[in-house]
């Protein structure tokens, strides 16, 4: 990928000011396949200056022009759909089938969603004699993670463009190529020069420079809670708006009236989504104590049925983790589960049999996990499920809520009214009842240390808008 050595600033592909670089490693083979240019503070200054210069004209552009722009972006994205899938297969080890059907599809979904939101969205409304006006927040720093590359890129860029903002994006240095490919799409679609800018780099250098920069009005960050805290601290000196989508440790409550084989099998599949590298997946399965043994047997069979293999094979269901550091971290957490007394149902430490290379992890299930154990408290980010027991519905709710996180939660029941009652008591930004399909218009974000603010749909658009009251405007 020739663009790996370049940044996109002011409507042009430019040579970085920094000479630093990073080898990109294929997670399935552990072989280097590209070298990424890594930016510094001077690159950030150049990108922010371009965004500030482009902001006034774009902020004043008619909404109809922004809608037309987003439609062109969607059209070009669809044309290059397979390129996005192949890029994410290579850069983060996503199996090609999931890269197409789970990863690349998110770009289409979020672009279509923002176009639906804009259809009839009121940027101005009258309240008595006061006129309320929604205006773009300004220059936005968009810092995205490696685990859902195009999803997190589009879910920030699309509403920022829709709102009339200018932006600088720093994608994760571990999955940057899909962002560079999307920059090509934006360039072809005719995004005005300077409205969109891209600088690659790491968090302590480029991410920190963006968070601190006086020319940035807002930071939208997705990543770990630890890093999110640092971003918020750095942004505080200039009183930026900070929107954060951080970690999760989602509970999946299986009530005693469920179809257990179906509920457990689907719960395992949900937990192993994206090789377990997702912040909102159900990693803690809560079952009545009386169902623990049966649930563990079902989960074991479901986990062992997952097909691991080369990422270019359409048959592969579970790919490697993104890099060596992530692999080692997950190995340590699996060992912690064993050491602390959880029952290892299947999986465990080490690579799966037959995999001498690649950051593959054995599909792992623990049962008899207690709330105090490390694997019940820490976000693992690998294909590891913890099954926990409860005595009563009230205790299940307490266990589900007994975490620092509150991004998502899940409830399964044969009685929809009962599931709704439990869902209302869960402290999470999104609660999923009986494994529903994704709703790309529903707000996405968390309670507690899972962040603040929301993405997706109308809620995501409003994050990029300031509200102005024109008092005494009059009714005519």
> Tens digits of per-residue pLDDT, 66-113?
999 999 999 999 999 999 999 999 999 999 999 999 999 999 999 999
Question: What pLDDT is recorded for position 437?
Answer: 96
Distance CA 272, CA 362 (A): 11
Catalytic residue among 140, 165, 271, 279: 279
Question: What pLDDT is recorded for position 317?
Answer: 97
Distance CA 232, CA 277 (A): 24
Catalytic residue among 245, 379, 455, 463: 245
Using pLDDT thresholds of 50, 70 and 90, give the confidence band for residue 410: very high
pLDDT above 70: percentage of residues in the chain:
100
What H or E segment, with its residue span, contains residue 365? Answer: strand 364-369
* 165 flagged as catalytic: no
Q: Which two tokens mark 219? A: 């930071």
Alpha-carbon Rg for the chain, nearest whole angstrom, is 23
What global pTM score does this model have?
0.96
* 293 flagged as catalytic: no
Q: Tell me the per-residue pLDDT of 109-134, one tens digit each, with 9 for 90 and over.
A: 999 999 999 999 999 999 999 999 99
Give domain limits for the chain.
2-246+450-470, 250-442
Question: What pLDDT is recorded for position 258?
Answer: 98
Using pLDDT thresholds of 50, 70 and 90, give the confidence band for residue 210: very high
Q: Tell me the per-residue pLDDT of 313-370, one tens digit each, with 9 for 90 and over.
A: 999 999 999 999 999 999 999 999 999 999 999 999 999 999 999 999 999 999 999 9
Q: Which two tokens mark 114? A: 């923002």
Minimal CA–CA distance to 11: which of 191, 200, 166, 163?
191
pLDDT above 90: percentage of residues in the chain:
99
Q: What is the average per-residue pLDDT within 372-387? A: 98
The pLDDT mean for the chain works out to 97
Q: What is the average per-residue pLDDT within 198-217? A: 98
Q: What is the average per-residue pLDDT within 368-376? A: 98
Relative orientation angle of helices 177-189 and 63-79, to the nearest 10 degrees: 130
**Inter-residue contact 248 to 446 (CB < 8 Å):** yes
Topology classification of domain 250-442: Aldehyde Dehydrogenase; Chain A, domain 2 (3.40.309)
Using pLDDT thresholds of 50, 70 and 90, give the confidence band for residue 475: confident
Q: Which CATH architecture has domain 2-246+450-470?
A: 3-Layer(aba) Sandwich (3.40)
What H or E segment, with its residue span, contains residue 43? Answer: helix 41-59
Is 402 in a helix, a strand, or coil?
A: coil
Q: What is the average per-residue pLDDT within 174-198? A: 98
Question: What pLDDT is recorded for position 43?
Answer: 98
Distance CA 323, CA 315 (A): 22
pLDDT at 221 over 70: yes
Question: What pLDDT is recorded for position 77?
Answer: 98
- Decide the pairing of beta strands 364-369 and 343-346: antiparallel
Q: Which two tokens mark 345? A: 């149902």
């Amino acid at each position: 990928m020739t663009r790996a050595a370049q940044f996109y600033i002011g409507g042009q592909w430019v040579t970085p000011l920094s000479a630093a670089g990073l080898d990109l490693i294929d997670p399935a083979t552990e072989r280097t396949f590209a070298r990424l240019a890594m930016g510094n503070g001077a690159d950030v200054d150049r990108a922010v200056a371009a965004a500030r210069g482009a902001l006034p004209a774009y902020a004043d552009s008619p909404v109809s022009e922004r809608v037309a722009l987003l439609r062109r972006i969607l059209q070009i994205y669809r044309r290059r759909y397979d390129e996005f899938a192949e890029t994410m297969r290579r850069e983060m080890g996503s199996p090609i089938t999931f890269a197409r059907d789970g990863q690349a599809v998110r770009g289409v979904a979020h672009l279509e969603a923002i176009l639906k939101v804009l259809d009839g969205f009121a940027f101005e409304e009258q309240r008595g004699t006061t006129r309320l006006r929604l205006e773009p927040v300004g220059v936005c720093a968009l810092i995205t993670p490696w685990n859902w590359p195009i999803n997190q890129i589009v879910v920030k860029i699309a509403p920022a463009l829709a709102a009339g903002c200018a932006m600088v994006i720093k994608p994760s240095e571990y999955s940057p190529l899909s962002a560079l490919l999307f920059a090509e799409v934006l360039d072809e679609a005719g995004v005005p020069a300077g409205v969109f800018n891209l600088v690659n780099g790491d968090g302590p250098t480029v991410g920190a420079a963006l968070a601190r920069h006086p020319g940035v009005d807002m930071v939208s960050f997705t990543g770990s809670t630890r890093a999110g805290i640092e971003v918020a601290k750095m942004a505080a000196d200039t009183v930026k708006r900070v929107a954060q989508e951080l970690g999760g440790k989602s509970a999946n409550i299986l009530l005693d009236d469920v179809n257990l084989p179906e509920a457990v099998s689907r719960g395992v599949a949900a937990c192993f989504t994206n090789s377990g590298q997702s912040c909102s997946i159900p990693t803690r399965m809560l079952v009545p104590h009386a169902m623990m043994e049966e649930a563990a047997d079902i989960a074991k069979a479901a986990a062992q049925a997952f097909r691991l293999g080369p990422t270019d094979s359409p048959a592969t269901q579970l790919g490697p983790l993104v890099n060596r550091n992530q692999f080692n971290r997950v190995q340590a957490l699996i060992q912690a589960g064993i050491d602390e007394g959880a029952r290892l149902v299947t999986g465990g430490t080490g690579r799966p049999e037959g995999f001498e290379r690649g950051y593959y992890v054995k599909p792992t299930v623990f049962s008899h996990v207690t709330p105090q154990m490390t694997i019940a408290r820490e976000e693992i980010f690998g294909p590891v499920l913890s099954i926990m027991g409860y005595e009563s519905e009230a205790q299940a709710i307490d266990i589900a809520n007994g975490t620092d996180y509150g991004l998502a939660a899940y409830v399964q029941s044969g009685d929809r009214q009962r599931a709704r009652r439990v869902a209302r008591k869960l402290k999470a930004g999104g609660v999923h009842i009986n494994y529903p399909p994704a709703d790309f218009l529903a707000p996405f974000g968390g309670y507690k240390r899972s962040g603040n603010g929301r993405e997706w749909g109308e809620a995501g658009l409003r994050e990029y808008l300031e509200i102005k009251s024109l008092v005494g405007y009059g009714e005519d």
